[in-house]
Amino acid sequence: MKKASLLTLIVVFITTASFTLFQAKPWNAPADKAKAANAVKSSAASIAEGKTLWTTHCASCHGKTGLGDGTKAAQLETTPPDFTKSAFQSQTDGSLFYKTSEGRGDMPGFKKKIADQEDLWNLVNFMRSLKK
C-alpha cells in the first residue's frame, strides 16, 4: 500500500512539475531576430495570402480567427494563445516571424513547410489583422 501511494505521489509530482515548468517558460525571440523588420508591406493582397497559409497550416490549432480554439487545440499540451489580445499583438513582427519559423514544443516550425520567407511575412501580416 505504501509503495503504491509513494509511486502515485511521485507520478503526480513529476507530471505537475513538468507541466508547470513548460507552461511558465516565456518564449522570447533572440534580440536580433525580434528586431527584424517585416520585409513585406502589409496590404490586402499580403493579408489574403497570409490568410490562405493560415487556413492551411495554422487554423487547426489556433482557430479560424486566432482565438486558440482550433479543432486540434484540446489535444495539445499547451493552450494556443489568443492572437487577438494585446499580449500577442504587442510582439514585434520579427518575433512573430521567428516563432513561426522555428517553433517550440507543440508549435511546429514552418521554415521548411513554408520555405519562402515572403510567405512567412505574409502570414505575420495576417496575424496582425486578427486584433480586435
Q: Which domain holds residue 34?
A: 27-128
**1 found inside a domain:** no
**In which residue are the cell numbers 509511486 written?**
7
**11 found inside a domain:** no
Q: What is the pLDDT of residues 75-127, one digit of tens each?
A: 999 999 999 999 999 999 999 999 999 999 999 999 999 999 999 999 999 99
Alpha-carbon distance of 48 to 101, in angstroms, equals 19
**35 found inside a domain:** yes
Q: What is the pLDDT of residues 58-78, one digit of tens each?
A: 999 999 999 999 999 999 999
Mapping DSSP to helix (H, G, I), strand (E, B) and coil, where does residue 5 land?
helix
Mapping DSSP to helix (H, G, I), strand (E, B) and coil, where does residue 45 land?
helix
Q: What is the pLDDT of residues 2-55, one digit of tens each?
A: 666 655 556 555 655 555 445 558 999 999 999 999 999 999 999 999 999 999
Predicted TM-score (pTM) of the model is: 0.81
- The domain spanning residue 55 has which CATH number? 1.10.760.10
Alpha-carbon distance of 47 to 78, in angstroms, equals 27
Q: What is the predicted pLDDT for the residue at 52?
A: 98
Q: How many domains in the chain?
A: 1
